[in-house]
Every structure is written in structure tokens, then in C-alpha cells.
Amino acid sequence: MLMVVSYADQQGITHLREFDSFTQSLYLLAELLQEHGVEKVAMEATGPYWQALYGILESYGMEMILVNPSHYRNVAGRKTDINDAGWLHQLLAHGLLRNSHIAPELNRELRHYLHERDIYKKQKSDTLNRIQKALTLMNVKTQHLISDIEGVAGMKLLDAICSGIHEPDQLLKVIYSKQLKASPEDLLSSLKGNYQEQYINVLSLTLKTYNFFRDQMQAYETYIERTLGKMLAYDPTPIEKKKSLVRKNQYSINLKGYLQAIFGTDLTEVEGLDEINLLMILAVTGTNMKKWPSSGHFISWLNLSPRPKISGGKVIGYEKRFTNNPATQAFRMAANSLWQSKGPMGQQYRRLAATKGAAKAIKAVARKIAVIFYNLVLKKEAYDPARIQPDIEKQTAREVARLQKKLAKLGYITQKAA
């Protein structure tokens, strides 16, 4: 794999050079650009391959501009690496390139850990389904009586079966607890299974795999906490350990304490935003909201703002765009979780879902949450739910006007109340 670089030396003469993608060559490229006084570098975003060069050039103190290829490949015939490099150089010299948002290095490190932990979480979930299948093959019916096989009783049962305990009465002594809703008689009947050796061996190995994925998730949490601690290097106040019970895929670290200290405000008070969503948003956006001149620019970057198609001064439709931005997905998940919320944004979600559909309601409420997030982080203010409370009188007036208009269409005459 070759890379082509176009640069101007201190005499203003343009040069074109080719480099391979080995690490030693990347450092030679960085030293070459530094030697000729290059301070700003524009590069094309090509899958994950740009990240190695981006990090090296960034470490040399150069200002990096990562360009979406679809934003500049508008000229026919410029389809070779050499032409692309020269074209990028020319656009950069005239200030015609738009930089992509790249979070600081610590945030990128955090995002990498979150991504890897999420992979192990999915693999753990798949392994849990295989454990359920092994129990089904053994005709053990506890999945109908123990709602959560990942709970204390479920794990004790699996460990006991794998250790050689197969008698129902002995297994019942291991798992029975007053917290279980099922009666001892029903549990005893469900524990009579077909404990063949092949099933026990498969269950034992699958349980080891499950424990491995769980341990890997815990290990990544250690790295995540360490990275969050680096973000708070300037703050001497230690973060307290998490006191509440950790269940399933929850974090064992005090995410709320770290997030509140990093953002400068408690964003978990915003309807829909929880610690996991905020952690992903932090990894993608960072805390410097000044990168976006306004909340409108921020929601446009998130692809949460409407994009009307205008022809002849009239709106003829709206452009549909798709994005894989994890921050956008986090805001959408926050909005989707409000369908049962009794707060003002939950009421707005249900009202929009009833009239416009769930998809538009999710996007509209996600946009509102993103605007609140932007302003709170930018101004370091506490969340005030009173500021988004709907005006009941205005809502009532709009509803009355709507009903009067509908009655007028049906031929009824209404009179306004005095």
C-alpha cells in the first residue's frame, strides 16, 4: 500500500513523494514535512488506515484536517492517488476543505475501549444463549422458573451441574432462596434432567467461555476507569467507588461521578440520558462544544436536523441521510427510552409518535436532547426541567383551535367562549 503526499517547501516549490505504509516510513514522512515547515496537513479518510498516520503527524505538532472523500471528489478525471494528492493540496491552500470532527486522543482511546467491551458483551450474550440451549438439551426447565440465568441462583445452578451434582434435591439445596418466586416442588420437578456426559462437557466449556467474556469486560472497565482518570488529572478530588449492586452488563465503576466531574454538570438528570449513553457521547464528541459555533451546527453534525429540498423557493421534500455516528445513536436511544416517561419530553414523544409516527418522534426528541446537552456542557449549567415545561394554556388553545377547524369542515358552527 502506497501513500502519495504533495507539499510545498520553504521556497514555495511543490513536491510529490510516495511512501509505503510501514511505520518507519510514516515517521520519515513526518520528519520530511516538519523539515520543510509544514504546519497543516489534509488527508483523506480511508477506513481505519488513516489513523496510524494521523496519530504520528499529530504527535509532531501538526494541525490535522481529515477530509471526507465525498466532499472533494467532484472533478472528473481526478481518480489517481497523484491527482488526488495534488487536488487536496490545492484545496487546502485556498482554504476550501472542511475538517471532520476528531475527538482528542484520550477520547479516542476511551472510544476504542468502549467498542471492544461492547464486542465482548455481545459475545457473552451469544454464549448465554448456548448455555440455555445446553440446558434445554438436558431437559432442565429452570429457565421457566428462574427468570435470570445470569443471576446468583442461575450461576450457582450452572456451577453445581458442571461440578457433578445432578440429583434434583441436592441442586435444590444449592439454588433455593426465598427470593425465588417458584415453589420448591416446581423447582424440584424442573431439575430432573437428562444429564448425559456430552451435555455436561458442552455446558462446562460454554460456561468457561462465558466467564472469560465476563472477565474481559471487567478488564476493559479497568482501562476505561484509568482513561477517565486521565481526563481528570487536573482535578485532585477522588471519585468514590460505586456503592450500588452491579447487575448483568452494568459498569462496576462509578460512571456518574466521573461523568459529572468531566462534563462539569450532572447530565444524568436530563430525561433519557443515562451513564452508558453519556459515556459513548463523551468518547465521540469530547467536552469542547466550541468546535461547533451553535447548537444548530451540533445537531446538523449529528444528522438530527431536517434537510429540506428546495426548488423554486418551495420545499419539495426532505433529504434522507444515514449515519453511523455513535453519538447520534446514543441520543436516539435516549429518545426511544422516553415512551413511558411522565416528564415533558416523554409527553412530547408520545404526542409526536401519535401524529407523526415513532421514527419522526425519536428524531425530534433526540434533537431536543442534543440541544440541551450542547448548552449544558458549553455553559457548565445544571439542568433545570422547568425551562422545558410546556405551556399548558398555549397547548389548550392550539387544541381548541384544531377542534374548531375540524368542526367547521364538517359544517358545524362553534362559538368562542367568553
The pLDDT tens digits for 84-99 are 888 889 888 888 888 8
Task: Give the pLDDT confidence score for residue 16 in this predicted structure.
Answer: 92
- For residue 34, being part of any structural domain is answered with yes
Q: What is the pLDDT of residues 323-365, one digit of tens each?
A: 889 999 999 999 999 999 988 899 899 989 999 999 999 999 9
pLDDT value at 21 more than 80:
yes
pLDDT value at 316 more than 70:
yes
- For residue 23, being part of any structural domain is answered with yes
Buried b / exposed e across 53-82, counting CB within 10 Å, b at 16+? bbeebbeeebebbbbeeeebeeeeeeeeee
Cα–Cα distance, 15 to 169 (Å, whole number): 82
- For residue 375, being part of any structural domain is answered with yes
- For residue 252, being part of any structural domain is answered with no
Q: Which domain holds residue 149?
A: 107-226
pLDDT value at 162 more than 80:
yes
| Residue 113 contacts residue 97 (beta carbons within 8 Å) | no
- For residue 350, being part of any structural domain is answered with yes
Which residues, 6+ apart, have CB-to-CB distance to 377 below 8 Å?
263, 264, 265, 267, 287, 289
Question: Which of 74, 100, 126 is a domain's end point?
Answer: 100
Q: Check whether residue 47 and residue 117 sit in a common domain.
A: no
Task: Give the pLDDT confidence score for residue 77 in this predicted structure.
Answer: 52
- The torsion of the CA quartet 42, 44, 45, 46, rounded to 10 degrees, works out to -150
| Mean pLDDT for the stretch of residues 97-106 | 90
Task: Give the pLDDT confidence score for residue 34 in this predicted structure.
Answer: 94
- For residue 234, being part of any structural domain is answered with no
E strand or H helix that includes residue 44: strand 40-44
- For residue 340, being part of any structural domain is answered with yes
Q: Check whether residue 166 and residue 142 sit in a common domain.
A: yes
Q: Check whether residue 18 and residue 87 sit in a common domain.
A: yes
Cα–Cα distance, 368 to 126 (Å, whole number): 35
pLDDT value at 225 more than 60:
yes
Q: How confident is the model at residue 416 (pLDDT cuts 50, 70, 90)?
A: low
Q: Check whether residue 117 and residue 48 sit in a common domain.
A: no
pLDDT value at 78 more than 60:
no
Task: Give the pLDDT confidence score for residue 284 in this predicted structure.
Answer: 96
Taking all residues of the chain, what is their mean pLDDT, rounded to a whole number?
Answer: 88
Q: What is the pLDDT of residues 118-131, one digit of tens each?
A: 999 999 999 999 99
| Mean pLDDT for the stretch of residues 73-80 | 60
| Mean pLDDT for the stretch of residues 62-80 | 75
Q: Check whether residue 32 and residue 139 sit in a common domain.
A: no
Please, what is the end-to-end C-alpha distance for the chain in angstroms? 79
Q: Check whether residue 128 and residue 85 sit in a common domain.
A: no
pLDDT value at 75 more than 80:
no
Grid cell of 365 as nine digits: 426528541
Question: Which of 37, 66, 100 is a domain's end point?
Answer: 100
What CATH number is attached to the domain comprising 22? Answer: 3.40.50
Task: Give the pLDDT confidence score for residue 139 in this predicted structure.
Answer: 92
Range with the poorest average pLDDT among 77-91, 150-164, 269-283, 285-299? 77-91
Q: Check whether residue 363 and residue 277 sit in a common domain.
A: yes
Q: How many domains is the chain partitioned into structurally?
A: 3
Question: Which of 100, 115, 134 is a domain's end point?
Answer: 100
Q: What is the pLDDT of residues 302-313, one digit of tens each?
A: 999 888 888 888
Task: Give the pLDDT confidence score for residue 370 in this predicted structure.
Answer: 97
Q: What is the pLDDT of residues 179-215, one digit of tens each?
A: 677 788 888 888 898 999 999 999 999 999 999 999 9
Phi, psi (degrees; rounded to nearest 5) at 147: -65, -30
Q: Check whether residue 274 and residue 369 sit in a common domain.
A: yes
The residue that leads in pLDDT, 160 or 237, is 160
- For residue 359, being part of any structural domain is answered with yes
Q: Check whether residue 290 and residue 371 sit in a common domain.
A: yes
Q: Check whether residue 384 and residue 276 sit in a common domain.
A: yes
Q: Check whether residue 202 and residue 273 sit in a common domain.
A: no
pLDDT value at 161 more than 90:
yes
Chain centroid to CA 202: how far? 35
pLDDT value at 40 more than 70:
yes
Angle at the Cα of 403 from the Cα atoms of 398 and 405, rounded to 5 degrees: 95
Locus of grid cell 377547524:
405
Task: Give the pLDDT confidence score for residue 151 in this predicted structure.
Answer: 85
Q: Check whether residue 78 and residue 94 sit in a common domain.
A: yes
